Chains A and B, each alone.
Chain A
Amino acid sequence: MAQAVQANKKWWSGGHSPFNVEYGKLMMWYFLMSDAFTFGAFLISYGTIRFSSNGWPDPNEVFRTFPGVQGEMPIPLAFVSLMTFILIMSSVTMVLAVGAGHAHNKKKVMLYMFFTILGGLAFLSCQAWEWTHLHGEGAWWGRNPFMNADGSQSSTNFTNFFFTITGFHGFHVFSGVVINIIMLIKTWRGDFERRGHYLMIEKAGLYWHFVDLVWVFVFTCFYLF
């Protein structure tokens, strides 16, 4: 924002919008902040339980399958890396859609929104496969077939937290995809062109990046630690 760089500008002396953003965008930021605390509460309760347990399953042992590959992959975590890549990639196409919106390029906005939706659907498909696979192994809420890393009996805490938190995140991805589809339709109908700006794409984009952001933390907490 070229006009925002003036350091001596008195934003609070009246006559300006002190945050220099549109109302809806500001409220999206505050909604995302509250959502961050919801996810934070989930992940921190997971951490608390994990810190209070004597043993915990080794993620490298649990997450080592890949669709179409018989048995175990030679390297663990391959599938979840693919999921991470898909989500980051769709975040990039989302920014490009926002950028195209700044340039009032309707065709490009639609193209990039389409790719973003595709990425979201790909991620959801991956998650559906992973859940189905884990369920097939006997894991579900209240059931944990995996042992702790030290070979002792594991409690159901691991699966309960895994399915609750990745499920809550997956639900966010799902609603993000729905929002993006609505934005694509509205772009196609020319709503934003008539309005003179593509701010709605930016707000949907903020939500979409937030979903990516949460995944970064879920990824670290469940798959790396």
Chain B
Amino acid sequence: MENVHGTTVAAAHGDEHSFDVKLIWKTFRILLYITVFELILAIGYYKFEHSFSNQLLVKHLLNGVFIILTLAKAFFIVAEFMHLRHEIKNLIMTIAVPALLFLWFIGAFLWDGSSYKNLRNRYDRNHVEQSHQKVEKKEPGHEAEKPGTVE
């Protein structure tokens, strides 16, 4: 209101009354539930991965769920903990619009990665053989730092 001069003071006192402790704990509970849910999915997949007929499809679906839940968590942290949802729209836009670059960033680079893999698998038979060669299972925890050392 009277923040024509001295935004500092106005910003410091402006949202004094809108600070809601209940909302903070609610946000905390949401974040906690989402994380627990993610863990249940991850552990559930780990326990039952061999009983799925199409393992790869299930894993991809699960990863999609993880992405959505992660973005949900990010939204709650930025919006409530960092209070961005309660700032004015101009400010929100200067933060949110550049973040959209991530869509291109992630899409382009993951596409590039998988394209590299496919091309290499097609033209480099040696690489394919090498990367599918099974190695003997080592017991982690007894792994010595130098390769070849057996405990």
Contact = CB atoms under 8 A, between A and B. Distances in A.
Chain B binds chain A: yes
The 9 A-B residue pairs whose C-beta atoms are closest, nearest first, are A51-B113, A197-B12, A138-B143, A48-B113, A54-B131, A17-B7, A145-B143, A52-B113, A60-B46
Contacts of A98: 19, 83
A125 interface: no
A209 B66 contact: no
B35 A48 contact: no
Which of B42, B63, B105, B114 is most buried by chain A, counting CB atoms within 10 A of its CB? B42
B128 A19 contact: no
Which interface residue of B91, B117, B121 has the most chain A CB atoms within 10 A?
B91
A126 interface: no
Contact of A212 (B9, B77, B99): B77
Interface of B: 1, 3-4, 7-19, 21, 24-25, 28, 31-32, 35-36, 38-39, 42-43, 46, 63, 66-67, 70, 73-74, 77-78, 81-83, 86-88, 90-91, 94-95, 98-99, 101-102, 105-106, 109-110, 112-114, 116-117, 120-121, 127-128, 130-135, 137-138, 140-141, 143-145
Contacts of B141: 136-137
Interface in A126-172: 136-138, 143, 145-147, 150-153
Contacts of B81: 91-92, 94-95, 209, 212
Contacts of A217: 70, 74
25 contacts: A1-B14, A1-B18, A3-B1, A3-B14, A16-B4, A20-B7, A20-B11, A20-B91, A22-B11, A23-B7, A33-B95, A52-B117, A88-B28, A88-B32, A91-B77, A99-B21, A102-B15, A137-B140, A138-B145, A143-B145, A152-B133, A153-B135, A198-B12, A213-B78, A220-B70
A199 interface: yes
A224 B132 contact: no
Interface in A22-64: 22-23, 25-26, 29-30, 33, 36-37, 40, 44-45, 47-55, 58, 60, 62
A63 to B, nearest CB: 11
A68 interface: no
Contacts of A1: 14-15, 18, 86-88
A75 interface: yes
Contacts of B14: 1-4, 20
Contact of A21 (B7, B46, B114): B7
A49 B113 contact: yes
A52 to B, nearest CB: 4
A102 B144 contact: no
Given A2-B17, A147-B137, A209-B82, A81 B35 contact: yes
A179 interface: no
Name A's interface SS.
helix
A74 to B, nearest CB: 10
Contacts of A45: 109
Contact of B116 (A25, A33, A36, A52): A52
B24 A95 contact: yes
Contacts of A150: 132, 134
A197 B3 CA distance: 15
A85 interface: yes
